[in-house]
Structure 1
Amino acid sequence: MKISQKQSVFHNEVLTRFDLYKSLFLTLPFQRVKHTGTILPFFSTHCEKGVDEHLTPEDIIESFFGQYEQYVQEEDRIDFLFRIVQYIERQVVLFDAVEDSAFQSVGKTDESGILHGLFQRAQENPELKQEIVNKLRDFSVRLVLTAHPTQFYPGPVLAIITDLIDALKRNDVPNIHSLLQQLGKTPFINKEKPTPVDEAASLAWFLENVFYKVASEIQSKIDSELEVPTEDVKQLIELGFWPGGDRDGNPNVDAASTKKVASMLRTILFRCYYRDFRIVRRRITFRGVEKYLDVLQNLFYNNSFNPVENPVDETASILENLNAVKEVLNTRHNGLFVELVEDLIRKVITFGCHFTTLDIRQDSSILRQTFNYLVERYPETAMDLEKIKDSESDKEKSLPFSELSLSFGDDADKLVIDTLEVIELLKSIQRSGSERAAQRFIISNCQQASDILGLMQLFLWSGWKKDALTIDFVPLFETVDDLSRAADVMRSLYDNAAYAQHIKKRGNKQTIMLGFSDSTKDGGYLMANWSIYKAKIELTAIAREYDVDLVFFDGRGGPPARGGGKTQRFYASMGKEIANEHIQLTIQGQTISSQYGSLETAQHNIELLLQAGIISEIQQKEGDTLTKKQKEVIDQMAHESHSKFMALRKHPLFLKYLETLSPLKQLSEVNISSRPVKRNSGKELRLEDLRAISFVTSWSQLKQNIPGFYGVGTALRWADENNLWSYVKNLYDSSGMFKTIIDNCMMSMTKSNFDVTAYMQYDETFAAFWSMLKEEYDLTKSYVLKLSNSTVLMEHYPIERASITAREKIVLPLLIIQHYAIRALRDKELPEEKESIYRKLIARTIYGVVNAGRNLA
């Protein structure tokens, strides 16, 4: 299909239908909304014109109100702006639903169908089929759901979207009209900040309504295509979960909330099983299965509706009885309805009694604090605290790995207490849902081998035994410096006899987490991507040297600036030097709802990841393994980019610009997360304390997306001026990794619009700073267009470009309102009540802009 045809389909199936159904808002029985809907097109056009003319937000909004006599009073104007925000929030939902309903026609990417095509070729090629089967024997995709503070819709709105998508597919206008009425009445925001348990409950909607069904369907499809017997199935799709377990910088997570979340996940899973079982029981009414069905009835019902305080893992019993039913059906009833039983067996194999693995995460500084507390409190640890504080090598050598039962006293810090309590709690979680229920402890800000070894010792001091230490210790390397030291840290670990013995008991498997978000904030877009890629090469080489099965767990956010974008293309192009036997990544915020929010989109995106993992090994491209010269060229460009970005970070106006012009301060007032916007929340803002999500979100609200491109243009110009352009061009054409970095950079730039803040070029304080940002944008744009042989950004991805353009147009009025309110707070002496109203207005616009951006934050 030609590009023009693709655009035509998108226009007909999405844009035209959106305009058609958008008109239904005008017929809703809400008088104030109806009035707003009539005026909104004029307001939007007025904003577009004002932005084109580089007017200030005040000039745009004041000149608009000057045309309408009814908006003389400030109260009426503010009320109107709030109604505009409410209206556009719901327009964004409608656009999401229309676009998702047209997914089969226009939403799929160029990679669509490759997995199916690969399986078809395998049917005709026994050698290829065996290659794929062998690959899948030790391959999996793990999606880890996190509740990081990037807005995603609350449960009731998600349910409306699901129903709306279905109605739009059938063009059921009466039902669409009713759902839009429901949408108009349904609140989009929380009045109070959610607790970690609230966040878990919200994300559980996706587990119950999407992943529970999709994981089984994909597994069944692959088993069928490759003719693998159900009993030989290897679990391909795994799920991980952070709400309730991720306590890094979140003082609201404690052992009690972790326990509640684990229990809730188990209960929700059993209700899913019970719904399926009722269908099984309704169909299988034959002799010979009664006693097995009775056992299953009691198991599923009691665990769903009468859960006990300390349950045990029932997986083996469930599978034993389901397999007994299957045996009776096959031997006595011609296999009638056996597929229903096999489907439930497949789900129980996948989800057990836990649904998803609950990861525990804490910062290394808290773990060190806990370790030091116990050493100081208990002489029997036989450790010299002063000595180990000063020397990393002394600490590594002196760790006894002794098995003691130590506890905290009344003098213990709250975080020390939580650390020791959650270590103890992990035992009971594993008893109730097997080892898979909670088996990973992630060490954030991991800087040295003793961070991991010290945590291992904490487990042994908390009643765990070496021979039964069913925990994987996962270092998380995030900053550019940490990534550069990662290989040395892991070598020290592998050389440690106690740790080597531990991972041998864990199947000789080591998981390492690499964080994209903080490395981008720390070193800029190009350096972050290259640092992680380079670290993967070094870490893989060391793991192979020690015969360790290495698993990379990538902490990726939604946008390219935080490791998102065309994620599957990264995994398809890792090359021979990087371990890629398993794909593990975080999905968060808008990534969850946009890519995994419906059965169709979830199946499509999971299959893309599966396909990427298979292709990266059995159909690897020669260009994906970089030559020495190519590495040198990228390394030099990364350093040029890094220098440019660090100069920006060190600029005296850097933080002031972000705090003054973006809604950074108001992010803490948006009730979308239990986690604070920054670490050390009671202290003055420092860049190192600012969370990467808040950092990226603030730039995206300014429509400048600095973390997604800044420094790339400088690096490309350097290559051009040093006669290396042919190497860069060859990299773009042959290396999937490098091409994806550049293409994702173009996506960030497409979501930028410097015209929105062009009035800043005349600002007394920030004119030169704004111009510096714009110059790098223009430079980067000219070079990426040259490199990709394009005339416009994302020219080779017309559907995605059209979607971004449409969404940016929808939310432009929100941006003008937001910047208007920010400047009002900055420039006016307002009474406290009015200040509160303006802050609330800013907070409300943040929701709509992030939602419309799908992966902006």
Structure 2
Amino acid sequence: MTDREIALPPGWNPSDAGAKAPLSGEETADILFQLLLDVVRQQYPQVADVLAGDSVAKDGKVSDFSPELLSRVFQVHGIWFQLLAIVEQHAAMRLRRLIERERGPDAVQGTFANLISEAARLGVGAPELSDKLASMRIRPVITAHPTEAKRVTVLEKHRRIYRLLVDLEQTRWTERERASLIDQLRDEIELLWMTGELRLEKPSVDQEVAWGLHFFHETLFEGVPELLKKLDRALHQFYPGDTFALTPVFQFGSWIGGDRDGNPFVTNTVTRRALTENALASMRHYEQRILILQQRMSITERALPPPEAFRAVLARTLAEIGDGEAIAHRNPGEPYRQFLSCMLRKLRAAIANTEQGNWNKTAASYSNADELIADLSVLEEALTAGGSGELASRLIRPLRWTVEVFRFRTVRLDLRENSTRLTETLQSLWKATSGQERDPPKPDSEEWKAWIIAELARPRQGDRELNLSPEAQETLGMFKLAQDPREEFDREAFGSFILSMTRSAADILGAYLVAKEAGLFRDAAGVEACTLPIVPLFETITDLRAAPGIMRELLSVPVVRRSARGLGGLQEVMIGYSDSNKDGGFLSSNWELAKAQNRLTKVGSESGIGIAFFHGRGGSVSRGGSPTAQAIAAQPAGSIRGRFRVTEQGEVVSFKYANRGTAAYQMEVLATGVFQHALMSEREHALTPSAEFDEAMEALSGASHAAYAGLIGHPGLLAYFQAASPLEEISLLNIGSRPARRFGARSLSDLRAIPWVFAWAQNRHVITGWYGVGSGIASFLDVRKERGAALLQRMFKESRLFRLVIGEVEKTMCLVDLDIAREYAGLVTDEEAREGVFSLIEAEFKLTRDMVLRVSQDGEIAERFPRYRSLLQHRLPTINKVSREQVELLRGFRACPTELEKEAYKSNLLLSINCIASGLGATG
């Protein structure tokens, strides 16, 4: 394979793999590459030659291959990209361990030890630290956005390969044992090779729920208590003698099964099933853990006499459980094991009730997670009082933390719908209740808003029969699911209701009204406060600019203020990175997001209701997927305050959470980033507001937006985009249950941001991560000349936001290949559209390159990111070949007059999309 910089050892043989230990990252890659080569060579020698860089691969053409061989070429390249990603994760983990061994845990960036040691050095007092911890709430939210091109069965094989690499680096193995590990690696690679890369059918929402829960079973149920243990250890190390009460600061949310926005397959029945599966996942995990504890806790009362208080609780529990005598007889003289047996019996009864949908509240069954937490606390306190505090802290406390975090729900499920559908529900409600024959007032009218406010003030009529449309009944039913989850599910089973496409305060108040009709207000009259958080989502540039005014108006409404105070004194606002980028371009999007956060934070301060932000990020740079620590550090000072929600989408979930070591580090990086921002942001010079910098960003953003708008508004752009990219063909990939468009229209405005980004990446234009930046800088310099250049160079050094933007632009530009982009452009039959659009892109790319280098004062693009450049050097030559093959496949596929003939191209075309996505490391 010609793009590999890692050379295979001369005469290397799999049986020699254990000769050197521990293995370096390069040696690990060599082993996996040779094993893959051996596996492929057995069945397809020609494909192996292509992988090795021999034979036909020398001229970069495989067009003469049969469709079967071509599919295997795409597959083997895709597998190698996946194996490289595993090696890189493993190497990064090893590097962090090496630093910790040699310099201590506080030397590893992004860890609690590093942060807490820095806080102690700066003189941050224990009371302040404790206050910040008490208010800290971090919640990554796993979404079902269709950006994961890998099947769960493939992810499971990746996990086993990663674990084998961890085993292989150990120095204790004999040569025979190492050879056995290599054989196991080869088996997994062979199974990966024989596993279908493409889903034959679109996944159902139920399958997406199972996909999301897969990561909890693999890494997260164990990872979160380990995270809290690291925090606890760091606090005790650097603040000895001080006491800190750890709360469940880190939890997970989910949209899978609750996100209706544009997905007709998410129904109330599906949501109820998702809630059940979420509950069962956590409860079954606790069952396994308690079973292990029961087997281990063979402590006799003679060896450790239990406290009298524990004896009383045990006696009462044995009496209530139903067969307490049998339990006591089976484990005589072992009170702790008896208590755990009772706990196990009660938990299994709760699991059975949940499976049957029969929440039978008896003493023989846990009716909620609080009861299980209470029993674990009893056990922990008894062991501690008896003199085995260390045993309690190592065996019982982590499980208590786990239950406190995941409860009987695993995740907090958000409900989401767009304002168009919600307005239609309200219009149906208006027709059913107003007693008027005329049509409802227009949604943007004062009459409409006045009707909503009046209805919110009117006492609720109870559960009344209304003649609503089927769609309105479904929406109302969605809210009713959250009416009282404690009756059937965990009290924290739901997170919030997200209203996408929020355009006005009336939109948000309308959500309150539907919630009221569903019985979600605290008081019987339904006029005091809503129990379900209502969260507006501002997505486009226009929406972000309007958000402060909308929220100022909203927070002046008494029912909203009472609801916010009842839910912790905060009003959450979600901001969208994807659609704002699609709407205004990369630079403008980042600046408008920063401005919106600053202004909304001020609105919250002025109203007395704090604003907390929910960041709607994606995996790619274009959708806010910047490095976690840097992205958080660049947020406006005071905008986080320990409250941070962020979406984790598609391939980001598998990248972060598929492997235990990586998952532990990613969670810690997120948690420390939020904690550090809460502690330090208002003390840091780098985040101190600068009128000079803000003025410059406003000018850069305006010019950049204008250039981007010129491209988006080009009359031939839609035709160009559809022809010069696999936009329509991406929809044939069965990578998500949700359609690519919200309402089925055929325009750029209704196209979702994910396929927008996905397709521009596939055709190597990648305009979503850089277009307009060059024009923005050039316009600024045209006006301010050398003085402006000096200012931008200073901003590059001193402004975290500006430096982050420029850095991510540079990384994105490394993915652009104008020669390949021109080949995709050749698919556009309209010459005027082709030349008009491509010439704009070509000129802007060259301008952006020149302007970015003038700002960074580097010699070449991404010079500051040698590791990133090295990573691409391993990938781009192969991606380039696959891209060129994809162009020909698109041409052939589209030229076929019948669906039957298209089938000959379809599989390879989709495999090429998968392969490029694997190589780039992201889809949308």
Same fold, TM-score > 0.5, yes or no: yes
Whether the 8 Å contact between 2:56 and 2:62 is mirrored in structure 1 is no
| Match in the other structure for 1:91 | 80
Given that 1:664 and 1:698 are in contact with CA atoms closer than 8 Å, whether structure 2 keeps it comes out as: yes
Residue from 639, 644, 653 that aligns with 2:707: 644
Q: Shift in Å at residue 835 of structure 1?
A: 1.2
User: Residues 742 and 530 from structure 1, CA distance in 2 versus in 1: closer, same or farther, beyond 3 angstroms?
Assistant: same
Offset at residue 734 of structure 1 (A):
0.8
Structure 1 equivalent of residue 19 of structure 2 = none
Match of 2:918 among 837, 842, 851: 851
Structure 1 counterpart of 2:906, from 818, 829, 839: 839
SS at match of 1:143: strand
* Larger displacement relative to structure 2 (27-36 or 212-221): 27-36
Pairwise CA RMSD = 2.9
Matches within 5 A, 1:343-422: 343-379=398-434, 385-386=440-441, 390-391=445-446, 393-395=449-451, 397-401=453-457, 402-405=459-462, 412-414=469-471, 416-422=472-478
- For residue 118 of structure 1, what is the amino acid of its counterpart? L
Match of 2:579 in 1: 518
CA contact (8 A) 1:195 1:674 kept: yes
1:737 is matched with which residue: 793, 801, 824?
A: 801
Aligned to 1:217, which of 194, 215, 226? 226
Residue 829 of structure 1 deviates from its aligned partner by 4.5
In structure 2, relative to structure 1, the CA distance for the partners of 1:824 and 1:14 (3 Å cut) is farther
Distance 1:290 1:730, change over 3 A: same
- Structure 1 residues 14-71: Cα deviation after superposition (integer angstroms, max 9, x where no partner): 4553243212123328843444212344489848x66xxxxxxxxx555xx3xxxxx5
SS of aligned partner of 2:601: helix
Q: Which moved more, 1:200-209 or 1:807-816?
A: 807-816
Whether contact under 8 Å (2:50, 2:73) holds in the other structure is: no
Determine which of 678, 681, 692 is the counterpart of 2:741: 678
- Kept in 1, the 8 Å contact 2:112–2:231? The answer is no
CA contact (8 A) 2:110 2:672 kept: no
The more displaced of 360-369 and 496-505 is: 496-505
Aligned pairs for 1:225-240 (under 5 A) are: 225-227=234-236, 232-240=245-253
Question: How do 1:777-856 residues align onto structure 2 when only pairs under 5 Å count?
Answer: 777-826=845-894, 828-856=895-923
Give the aligned partner of residue 345 of structure 2: 298
Question: Which one is further off, 817-826 or 541-550?
Answer: 817-826
* Deviation, structure 1 residue 298: 1.6
SS of residue paired to 1:584 = strand
**1:543 pairs with one of 586, 592, 604:** 604
One of 195, 208, 229 as aligned partner of 1:199 = 208
Per-residue CA deviation, residues 96-148 of structure 1 (Å, 9 max, x unaligned), is 22222212245899972564223234566764444333322211221000110
**Mean CA deviation greater in 80-89 or 351-360:** 80-89
Match among 539, 553, 559 for residue 478 of structure 1: 539
Cα drift, residue 670 of structure 1: 0.6
Residues 241-640 of structure 1: pairs in structure 2 closer than 5 A: 241-286=254-299, 287-304=334-351, 307-311=355-359, 313-332=367-386, 334-335=388-389, 337-338=391-392, 339-379=394-434, 385-386=440-441, 390-391=445-446, 393-395=449-451, 397-401=453-457, 402-405=459-462, 412-414=469-471, 416-467=472-523, 469-576=530-637, 578-620=639-681, 621-640=684-703
**How many angstroms apart in 1 are the aligned matches of 2:537 and 2:442?**
26
Q: Retained in 2: the 8 A contact 1:160–1:183?
A: yes
Structure 2 counterpart of 1:412, one-letter code: S
Percent of aligned pairs with the same amino acid: 25
| Partner Cα separation in structure 2 for residue 97 and residue 744 of structure 1 | 23
Deviation for aligned residue 1:168: 1.8
Find the counterpart in structure 1 of residue 132 from structure 2: 135
Partner Cα separation in structure 2 for residue 184 and residue 407 of structure 1: 58
User: Does the aligned pair in 2 maintain the 1:426–1:438 contact within 8 Å?
Assistant: yes
Relative to structure 1, the CA distance from residue 382 to residue 322 in structure 2 (aligned partners, 3 Å threshold; closer, same or farther) is farther
What amino acid is the match of 1:343? P
Q: Which moves more between the two structures, 570-579 or 467-476?
A: 570-579
Conserved? CA contact 2:617–2:625, under 8 Å: yes
Q: Deviations over 1:192-224 (max 9, x none)?
A: 111111111011111221221211111111122
Give the SS at the match of 1:427: coil
CA contact (8 A) 1:517 1:557 kept: yes
- Counterparts of 2:623 and 2:443, CA distance in 1: 36
Shift of the 107–832 alpha-carbon distance from structure 1 to 2, 3 Å rule, reads farther
Matches within 5 A, 1:685-700: 685-700=746-761
Q: Name stretches of at least 5 consecutive residues in structure 2 with no aligned partner.
A: 1-5, 8-22, 100-106, 169-180, 300-333, 362-366, 524-528
- 1:68 maps to none
Give me the whole-angstrom Cα distance separating, in 1, the residues matched to 2:374 and 2:873. 54
Q: Secondary structure, in 3 states, of the residue corresponding to 2:252? A: strand
Task: Summarize the Cα distance change of 1:521–1:20 in structure 2 as closer, same or farther, 3 Å threshold.
Answer: same
User: Aligned-pair distance for 1:842?
Assistant: 1.6
Paired AA for residue 286 in structure 2: Y
CA contact (8 A) 1:237 1:350 kept: yes
Kindly tell me: are residues 579 and 490 of structure 1, through their superposed partners in 2, closer, same or farther at Cα, counting changes over 3 Å? same
- Deviation track 1:351-378 (CA, whole Å, cap 9, x = no partner) reads 1111110000000111111111011112
Mind listing any 5+ residue stretches in structure 1 that lack a counterpart?
1-5, 51-59, 66-70, 72-76
Indicate the residue corresponding to 2:720 in structure 1. 657
TM-score, L = length of structure 2: 0.84
CA distance in 2, matches of 1:664, 1:787: 34
Aligned pair in 2 of structure 1 residues 564, 124: CA closer, same or farther (>3 Å)? closer
Give the match's secondary structure for 1:102: helix
CA contact (8 A) 1:88 1:810 kept: yes
- How far apart in 1 are the matches of 2:520 and 2:579? 33
Question: Which protein is bigger by CA-based radius of gyration?
Answer: 2
Amino acid at match of 2:208: E
Shift of 1:177: 0.9
Deviation for aligned residue 1:470: 1.9
Q: Report deviation, 1:845.
A: 1.6
Within 5 Å, which residues of 2 pair with 1:11-160? Answer: 13-15=24-26, 17-28=28-39, 31-42=42-53, 46=57, 60-62=61-63, 65=64, 71=65, 77-106=66-95, 112-113=109-110, 115-122=112-119, 127-160=124-157
Partner residue, 2:328: none
Q: Does the residue aligned with 2:256 lie in a helix, a strand or coil?
A: coil
1:383 CA displacement? 12
